[in-house]
Amino acid sequence: MRSLSSKLVLAFLLTSLTGAVLSAIFVRQFVGSQFDAFVIGQQRDFFANRVIDYYDSNDSLDNIGRWISERSNRRPPDDSPPDGIPPHDDPLTIRFGLADASGTVIIPARSYKIGDHMRQGDLAAGTPVISDDQIIAVVITPGGDAIRDPAQARYLASTGAALTIAAAATAGIALILGIVLARLITQPLRELTTAARQIAAGGPGQQVVVRSRDELGVLATQFNHMSADLAHANQLRRQMTADIAHDLRTPLTVISGYLESLRDQVLKPTTERFTMLYDETQILQRLVEDLHTLSLADAGELPLQCRPIEPIQILAHVAETYGHTAEQAGVSLVTRAPDSLPEVTVDYERMSRALGNLVSNALRYTPPGGTISLSASVTADQLTLSVADTGSGIASEHLPNIFERFYRADASRQQETGGSGLGLAIVRSIVEAHGGTISVTSEPGQGTTFTVSLPLPHILTTTQTNLHGF
C-alpha cells in the first residue's frame, strides 16, 4: 500500500471501527451489569415483601422456606394465597437466602446452610427486612449474575444487536469521511509533487494554491517562497554568467587585437601600448581574484587571520589609502571616533578591504565638494564602523539586490569606470565570514548607508557605509 490516501482511509477506518467495537463492548457490559443489578434489586424487594407478608400473617418466620419454595415451583390456575397472604404476581427467578434478626440462616444461600450462624460482615452486607420499624430478617443475595427470564434475555439481545448495527454504521460513515478527508489532505500534496517535478525538469517559478492555514498551508506557502527564490536565483545566475562573459570578453578583445597587430607589425611596440596591455591584464586578474574570493566564501573556506586591533587603526588605514584619490576628486574624507573604543578581533587586511571597497564605491558617486566620513562608535553590545557619503543615493527598487553579484544599479556603467559588480558581494562575504550582517539604507539625493553589525562578545565589528553599488 503505497498511496497516502489509502493509508489515511485505512487509518480512519481502523480507528473508528476500533472505537466503535470497544464502545459497543463497554456499553454492552455496562448495560448487562446494570440490567442484572436492576433485576436483582427488583426481585430482592419482591422477596422481602413476601417475607413481610408471611411474617405479618403468622407472627413468625417458621416454615417460610417451604412456603417460599412451593410458591416459586408451582402456581395453580385458581391460585389463592393460603393463610390469608395477599397474592403476588411477580415470579422469583433468583434463589435468595434468609436469616433471622440474630443471624441464624432460615433459607440457605451461598455457603450457608439452615441453622448456620452468619458472619458479622456477611450479615451487615445483607438487606434488612423491616416490619413495624423492626428488623425481622436479613435477605442474603446469592453471588453471580441474575437469572434472566426469556423476555429479559431477548431485551438484552436486541440491545446488543442495536449496538452492532451502530458500530457497523459508524464504520461506514468513517469510511466515507476518511475518503473525503484523505482527498482533501492529499490534494495539496499532489499539487506540491507536480510543481516539484516541474521544477526538477527545469521549470522554476512554479506556484501552488494555498488552500488552508494549517501545516499543509504553511508548507504550500513556504514552497511558493522557495520556488520564487529559486527562479530569482536562476535569473541572477544567468545574468552573472552573461556579465562574466562580458567582463572577460572586453579586456581579452583589446589584448588579442593589440597582440595581433604587434605580431603582424601593424603597430610598433611602445611603452604606452605595453602599459595599456598590462592594465587590461590587471582587470582580468582582479576579476579572477574577486571570483576566487567569493567561491571561497561560498564554500565557507575564506581564510581569516584574526587578531585584536583597535578600530581606529582600520579607519586610519582606509583613510590614508584613499585620501589622495578623494583629494583629487574634490571630496572631503574625514574620520571620527571616540578615544575609548574596545579592541576588535578581525582579519585586519580583509576588513580593511571591505571598508576600502565601500569608500572606493562612495567616491564614484560623491560629487566634488561632498563629504565621506568614516566613524566608529559603541552601541549596546555592538561596535559600529560607518562610512557615509553625501552622494546621489540609491533608488529603492535597487536596494533588495544591491549585494548580488554583478548587480549594477546603473546598468549602463562599464567595468573600467564602475568596477566589476562584485564589490558589495565581496564586502558581504567578508562580513558574514566574521559572523556579522550587512544592511543598506539610502535616500536618492541624500546618500546611502550600509550597516554591518557584529556583537562585541563575538568579533565586535559593525560597519555602516553610504554606497551606490559596484
3-class secondary structure, 138:
strand
d(CA 308, CA 347): 9
Give residue 368's pLDDT.
93
Give residue 445's pLDDT.
85
Cell numbers that stand for 333 in this block? 574624507
Strand order of the sheet with strand 382-389?
Answer: 332-336, 371-379, 382-389, 463-465, 447-453, 437-443
> Could you please report the per-residue DSSP string of 390-421?
-S----GGGGGGTTSTT--SSTT--HHHH--S
d(CA 239, CA 301): 25
> Could you please report the per-residue DSSP string of 173-235?
HHHHHHHHHHHHHHHHHHHHHHHHHHHHTT----------SSHHHHHHHHHHHHHHHHHHHHH
CATH topology of domain 306-465: Heat Shock Protein 90 (3.30.565)
Give residue 458's pLDDT.
46
Give the burial class of 77: count Cβ atoms within 10 A of its Cβ; 0-12 exposed, 13-18 middle, 19 or more buried: exposed
Comparing CA positions, the residue from 134, 142, 35, 151 lying closest to residue 91 is 151
Give residue 205's pLDDT.
74
d(CA 142, CA 139): 10
Contact in structure between 42 and 92 (CB atoms under 8 Å): no
Residue 140's φ and ψ, nearest 5 degrees, are -105, 115
Give residue 410's pLDDT.
61
pTM of the shown model = 0.52
State pLDDT tens for residues 91-138. Answer: 667 788 888 888 888 888 878 888 888 888 888 888 899 988 888 899
d(CA 420, CA 408): 9
Cell numbers that stand for 443 in this block? 535616500
d(CA 441, CA 464): 9
Comparing CA positions, the residue from 440, 445, 458 lying closest to residue 403 is 440
Give residue 330's pLDDT.
94
Give residue 64's pLDDT.
87
CA angle 44, 65, 52 (to 5 degrees): 50
Comparing CA positions, the residue from 359, 352, 356, 364 lying closest to residue 419 is 364
Contact in structure between 467 and 361 (CB atoms under 8 Å): yes
Give residue 320's pLDDT.
92
Give residue 147's pLDDT.
61
Contact in structure between 68 and 82 (CB atoms under 8 Å): no
Give the burial class of 462: count Cβ atoms within 10 A of its Cβ; 0-12 exposed, 13-18 middle, 19 or more buried: buried
Give residue 323's pLDDT.
92
Give residue 149's pLDDT.
66
Extents of the domains making up the chain:
1-96+141-201, 215-298, 306-465
Give residue 333's pLDDT.
92
246-255 contacts at long range (C-beta below 8 A, 24 or more positions apart)? 247/287, 247/406, 247/415, 247/420, 247/421, 248/284, 248/287, 250/415, 251/280, 251/281, 251/283, 251/284, 252/284, 254/280, 255/280, 255/281
Place of cell 575609548: 340
Q: Which residues of the chain have pLDDT under 50?
A: 75-89, 413-418, 458-470
Return the H-helix or E-strand segment holding 423.
helix 423-433
Span 215-298: which CATH code?
1.10.287.130
